[in-house]
Amino acid sequence: MENKFLSTPIEYLKGVGPQKAELIKAEINVFTYFDLIHYFPNRYVDKSKISNIADINDDTTNVQLRGKLFDITIAGTKQGKRLIAVLEDKTGNIELTWFKNFQYVAKTLKEGAFYTVFGKINDFKGKISIVHPEIKLYSIEDNESGLNMEPVYPLTEKLKARFMDSKFFMNAIKQILVHSEFDLSEYIPESVSKPLKLIPRKHAYYFIHLPKKVNEQLTAERRIKFDEMFTLAMRNEKNKITRLQEQKGIKMLKVGDNFNTFYKECLSFELTNAQKKVIKEIKADISNGNQMNRLLQGDVGSGKTVVALLCMLMAIDNGYQTCLMAPTEILATQHYFTIKDMLGNLPINIKLLTGSTTKKNRQAILEQLNTNEINILIGTHALIEDDVTFSKLGFVVIDEQHRFGVAQRSRLWNKSSILPHVLVMTATPIPRTLAMTVHGELDVSVINELPKDRKPIKTLYRDESFRADIMAFVDNELKKGRQAYIVYPLIEESSKLDLNDLMNGYDVVCSYFPIPKYQISLLHGKMKADVKELEMQRFKAGITQIMISTTVIEVGVNVPNASVMVIENANRFGLSQLHQLRGRVGRGAEQSFCILMSKENLNYTSKKRINTMCKTNNGFEISEVDLELRGPGDLLGTRQSGLPDFKLLDLVKDDEIIDLAKRAANFILKNDPALALIENKILLEYLQKHQQDNFWGRVS
């Protein structure tokens, strides 16, 4: 669809050539004219305004001035030698200074001539000046042609060293955009582009690089951002439509004895309105004849597990088996005991299958699965092994779904001859914008409130100098009969990172809390599964008062009596991880605390993370900041994110454009699922040409 002109190698551009082209290819991965027009500016310098010298103040950074140049002199000696000139307008004057190439610059300047000057304000000992300004002779034509918004491109040090600056790239890209062969075919149907007032693609690429006004740049940016999201939205909507049409699900119409008995007699607390709403959404899904494929988001401690259990009971009441897959043995085991305790004396056969299950127990479980004797099977990746088959699997729950690959998840719901309903859960809240992009083909439910008896966790930051005070505070909590977590990022000392490791930390904690006065548990990922489980059960039973651990307790550990968590070297943890760790406390009715510790001299990102943690307990707010700091690939796990490489679209700020693209895709596919209509022919050809697989079919 794009013309051959855009596939031309960049070395054919005037001023580029083979040597510069090789460096550009190596540094910014730009090979062709098409690549180069997608090398977007990251900001603009607004040169549409001429300021008065008298209006320059402490807040002024970059400024554009116009005036007469005089007093052009070379001052100083040796290293301090420089060129000085004075620019004067009707309101005052300012000094211009050059330290480099000043002899050449001096030859080009004309005393008494009028110049337009642009540069950064420099304040040295109260005297303002502009060092190395951009300067050009003023002519009447400047007023007639108007002044441009000048693009600023992201540059590497190697590019700068070879004098390939923003002006270099602007001039190179301009050659492409003004060439008679430059064209970008329109592929979005007019039924979408006209109501949304999207400017043509060709115009968008011109104005994103060469805008004269702010409005031109903004309309160009809007169109390109829309394009970046639109193709993904089309794929998501097509997946959703295909699933509803082709993947017919089991109709589960009955709400029976197990559900009703559990709800009325076993629940020791009242469900929140958010939990009730989600259960209604899932009930509607599993009774409409389509396969449910729903994402359940809920903050730590919001009660996702009880929602999942109630829905599993609905499936059991309709005669089907259910399973829950978790990413770690600790989490799977925690789910098993939690659900078993919650079910009480209900006649539900629940089993646990992990890598540590004995051969004898495993064989018994496999046999009972095939005879439909097991109602709920909880486990790890062991559930997707080849010899695990179900007689009548109807409802699948996948916890912490971002830790499993797409192929792993799909293997689980292919474990039965029937197509089960699927509920994927995460305690890592995903910003709405990210959920709309990554999980666009899923239905999304959110539990956005905590149980009524929960008090917000108080979070504070202290540096190493407060250690004695912090340990005294922990001691005070323990004297009240509570328990504490102390979390470290490493198991053993690292020569590369200046961290308190777990084993040294154990010795330090013991010096403050001597045995036998206090009992201390130790937990880390290198321990055998049965030892880890023993330590967890000791802590849960209150036999030990302090749990010293790595991040293996990040999810799934539920000890309501634990009221304080100390996170050592908190600056070494990600924001999402800090929030998950904090969620291990605050599970009882008592006030809980999270203390973030680190050495001094935090960098910007660490300060932002820690300030965010201290400011809010809201996981969705935290996820917005996390997305801003890390980007979607890191937040989701790059390999599993499924996200394209957005160059302009901002998943934090561009929710309106994301929503528009999603609505547009839905509008098109709702009326023409196969894109068979004449008005959608060009769109189909575009999608076919730019697909990375055969999703949209073969190119004809």
- How do the domains of the chain map onto residue ranges? 4-45+155-222, 50-147, 257-447, 458-616
User: Which are the contacts of 585, defined by CB distance < 8 A and separation ≥ 6?
Assistant: 457, 485, 562, 563, 564, 565, 592, 593, 594
Average pLDDT estimate for 111-118: 92
Beta strands 520-523 and 546-549, pairing class: parallel
**pLDDT bracket for residue 410 (50, 70, 90):** low
pLDDT tens, position by position, 537-561: 899 899 999 999 988 776 557 788 9
**pLDDT bracket for residue 609 (50, 70, 90):** very high
Q: How many CA atoms lie within 13 A of 603 on its CB side?
A: 4
Homologous superfamily of domain range 50-147: Nucleic acid-binding proteins (2.40.50.140)
DSSP 290: B
Are 217 and 44 in contact by the 8 Å Cβ rule? The answer is yes
Question: Do 50-147 and 257-447 fold alike per CATH?
Answer: no
Average pLDDT estimate for 98-111: 88
Helix and strand counts by DSSP (H, E) for the chain: 26, 21
The confidence score (pLDDT) of residue 1 equals: 45
pLDDT tens, position by position, 359-395: 999 999 999 999 999 999 999 989 989 899 999 999 9
Homologous superfamily of domain range 458-616: P-loop containing nucleotide triphosphate hydrolases (3.40.50.300)
Highest mean pLDDT among 349-353, 605-609, 644-648, 686-690: 349-353
The confidence score (pLDDT) of residue 632 equals: 65
The confidence score (pLDDT) of residue 258 equals: 95
> Between 94 and 435, where is the model more confident?
94
DSSP 4: G
Tokens of 525: 């990922």
The confidence score (pLDDT) of residue 418 equals: 80
Closest CA to 577 of 642, 664, 637, 640: 637
Tokens of 362: 């495993």
The confidence score (pLDDT) of residue 490 equals: 72
Say whether domain 257-447 belongs to CATH 3.40.50.620.
no
Closest CA to 395 of 326, 306, 318: 318
Asked whether the predicted pLDDT for residue 279 surpasses 90, the reply is yes
Distance (Å, whole) CA 585 – CA 587 = 5
Mean pLDDT, the chain, as a whole number?
Answer: 87
Distance (Å, whole) CA 162 – CA 204 = 30
User: Which are the contacts of 417, defined by CB distance < 8 A and separation ≥ 6?
Assistant: none
Asked whether the predicted pLDDT for residue 638 surpasses 50, the reply is no
**pLDDT bracket for residue 171 (50, 70, 90):** very high
Are 604 and 629 in contact by the 8 Å Cβ rule? The answer is no
**pLDDT bracket for residue 432 (50, 70, 90):** low
The confidence score (pLDDT) of residue 556 equals: 57
**Portion of the chain with pLDDT greater than 90, in percent:** 53
Distance (Å, whole) CA 176 – CA 30 = 14
Asked whether the predicted pLDDT for residue 309 surpasses 50, the reply is yes
* Tokens 């603009």 -> residue: 44
Burial track 417-449 (b if 16+ CB lie within 10 A, e otherwise): eebbbbbbbbbbbbbbbbbbbbbbebeebbbbe
**pLDDT bracket for residue 402 (50, 70, 90):** low
Asked whether the predicted pLDDT for residue 176 surpasses 80, the reply is yes
